[in-house]
Structure 1
Amino acid sequence: MPLVEYSDSEGSVNSDSAPSPAVTSNAKRKRAPSPSPADSAKQTLPPLPSTFHDLYASASRLSNTDDPSLHAGRQRQIPHVEGNWPSHVYIEWIPTTEQYTLLESIVDQVNKRRDDVETDGRHVHSLLRSDLGAPLPLHISLSRPIVLRGEQRHDFLHDLTARIRKLGMQPFTLHAIHGADWVANHDDTRWFLVLRLERDKGDSLNKLLWVSNQTVKEYGQFGLYEKQIPLPADRQMPNRKQRRIGGSEEADLSMHFHISIAWTLASPRVEEQTRVLGPSEGGSEEEGLGVNVEVVKVKIGNNINSVALADVRSTAANGILA
């Protein structure tokens, strides 16, 4: 049910009701302004549930074909095939208002420092807000964009949830390293402006990546930040799970972890790749760029499932995979 704020003239007070004796005896006395329904709603409405953003995380599909003109020149990484379900494992981060302000200042500074920013290829596109200006959740990837067949969805979610449950992991906090950096996607078609993340004390992020990689490789997919393992020639999943051997499960991959805040199609110059912003310009742990990790998100098609670290229960945002 949508949340609607009404104007004062549309309040719930019945204008036909009789005035109180106090008002009748002194009509000229100034009455204290009563709070509007909008103000009352703001005071009484409970906070939005943590899964609220999941309901609106996927944009409507504009085309089944790869049409870069629909999305600022970006190329589809995984071609659309009927019966395939694009999927992703990640940790979601919703910055505070102050954190959004800091991140937006970083993107603005980078755009000001680049030459010919009005050219689409050079312009840095922010990932912080939607086309309507609403703040967008950011994320830390625990998998590449992968593809599942329809019959594999439930098994994949079950297997990954079981492995996270086995870790017995509690919620933890990550912190961004000073400054920002550039990272290319695996086929060098886009560059991302990112915040690097420090390795947490319990190495929890590495552990979550290990179980995610172990699971996706059993379904014939590439492991994130590991040596690539070839997919079947037609890039479609076999009907049955196939265990693939590759990469060390215990490898320290924490140097790769990051949060993307903007992107561009043009490769940054060498000087831009080695230094984007210094510690005094890009923010730090002391300025509040901490990321609290309580839930792992598993997006399968348009369905987003949450696996909470505290009690490790899996729920589907729209009930399809529950």
Structure 2
Amino acid sequence: MALVDYGGSSSSASEDEESAENTQAPTLSILKRPALPTAAALLGPKKQKPDEFEDDVIDDPSLHGGRIRSFKHERGNWATYVYVPADACSDQLEEFQAEAISHLALELELQANDSLHLSLSRTVVLQYHQIDEFSRSLQQALNSSTGFAASLQGLRIYTNEERTRTFIAAPLDAAFVEKMTAILQPIDQVMLDYRLQQFYVPASFHVSLLWCVGDQEKLLNSKLKELQELLEDQDTLSLAVNEVHLKCGNKDFTYLLK
């Protein structure tokens, strides 16, 4: 918008007067304020969001087997946990999963855990900017930790804290609990340093195999002997504790043990 409104010359004005006005008064084009720069010119093009934040996540339990989040999903929150993979016995555990699902199909709808691992932390929340520093802290904390060969023994029934899901799990053989606790301690210290929840007390090391919606602890405990017989058909369930993993959303970090 122009700052000064200039009308046309009067019909009685002489050519000399018009000439004088043209040389003494600024023209309209000179008095116009230059257009203000756009935000894009000042700040540059709008930065693309990281892929992880492209879309808001809607917590719809029907999309993931009826599971309910233990904490509200918010943009920038990364579900995080520390674990040991159960790769050494994954084939045996997967065979048991299929047999157990079939065995209890008429009484209960069981789901197989896709990721077979032994947890060494609760599931906690990190912000995006914390991930790399947290990973470095964990790497440093585990530098002196020693790996070992272990095994899983038996079955046990668990529920989550909200009792919205029930799990069938294979516990760590009691002979290896002390060694696993030695690996857990520095992890717990990192959690404490970041003001996050430490692992459960007392610690119960296990690999979750199957789960179902709701509190089905009583029913599954009544079926535990039958399930145990299915598992006994498998050979020794070896667990190679030679690396620890950190899972943050879709990122996975690996720390090799001595």
Fold match, TM over 0.5?
A: yes
Query: 1:74 and 1:280, CA in 2 relative to 1: closer, same or farther beyond 3 A?
Result: closer
Trace 1:230-309 onto structure 2 (pairs within 5 A): 253=203, 256-268=204-216, 270=218, 272-273=220-221, 276-277=224-225, 279-283=228-232, 287-309=235-257
Q: 1:102 to 1:67 in 2, by over 3 A?
A: closer
Deviations 1:45-95 (A, max 9, x none): xxxxxxxxxxxxxxxx98612111111211122322222222111111123
Q: Which has a greater percent of strand?
A: 2
| Aligned-partner SS, 1:205 | helix
Secondary structure at the counterpart of residue 263 of structure 1 = strand
CA contact (8 A) 1:181 1:274 kept: no
CA distance in 1 between counterparts of 2:67 and 2:224 reads: 23
Q: CA RMSD in A?
A: 2.7
Partner SS state of residue 224, structure 2: coil
Q: Is the 8 A contact 2:156 2:171 kept in 1?
A: yes
SS of 1:195's equivalent? strand
SS at match of 2:174: coil
Residue in 2 that maps onto 1:84: 77
In structure 2, C-alpha distance between the alignment counterparts of 1:71 and 1:210, rounded to whole Å: 33
- Which whole-Å CA distance do the structure 1 matches of 2:77 and 2:219 have between them? 41
Count of aligned pairs between the two proteins: 205
TM-score (norm 2): 0.70
Instruction: Please name the residue that 1:219 is paired with.
Output: 194
Residue in structure 1 matching 2:133, options 147, 155, 168: 155
Task: Tell me the distance in 2 between the aligned counterparts of 1:97 and 1:140.
Answer: 16
Partner of 1:172: 148
Aligned-partner Cα distance in 2 for 1:281–1:82: 43
User: AA paired with 1:159?
Assistant: S
Retained in 1: the 8 A contact 2:166–2:217? no
In 2, are the aligned partners of 1:75 and 1:189 still within 8 Å (CA)? yes
1:124 aligns with 2:117: no
Question: Which of 34, 44, 57 is matched with 1:64 structurally?
Answer: 57
Q: Distance in 1 between matches of 2:81 and 2:168?
A: 20
Distance in 2 between residues matched to 1:273 and 1:307, nearest whole Å: 36
Identify if the C-alpha distance between structure 1 residues 67 and 222 changes in structure 2 by more than 3 Å, giving closer, same or farther.
same
Letter in 1 for 2:166: W
The answer as to whether partners of 2:85 and 2:118 remain within 8 angstroms in 1 is yes
CA contact (8 A) 1:87 1:301 kept: yes
Q: Distance in 1 between matches of 2:102 and 2:149?
A: 27
Whichever residue aligns with residue 176 of structure 1, its letter is L
Residues 82 and 70 from structure 1, CA distance in 2 versus in 1: closer, same or farther, beyond 3 angstroms? same
Task: Indicate the percent of aligned positions where both proteins have the same amino acid.
Answer: 23
Question: Which one-letter code corresponds to 2:214 in the other structure?
Answer: A
Gapped runs of 5+ residues in structure 2?
A: 1-53
The Cα shift of 1:153 comes to: 1.4
Structure 1 residues 271 and 187, CA gap change in structure 2 (3 angstroms)? closer
Q: Max radius of gyration: which structure?
A: 2
Q: SS of the residue aligned with 1:106?
A: helix
Q: Return the offset for 1:271.
A: 5.4
Is 217-226 or 96-105 further displaced after alignment? Answer: 96-105
Q: What letter is aligned with 1:191?
A: T
1:255-278 CA distances to partner (integer Å, 9 max, x unpaired)? x11111111113225353265136
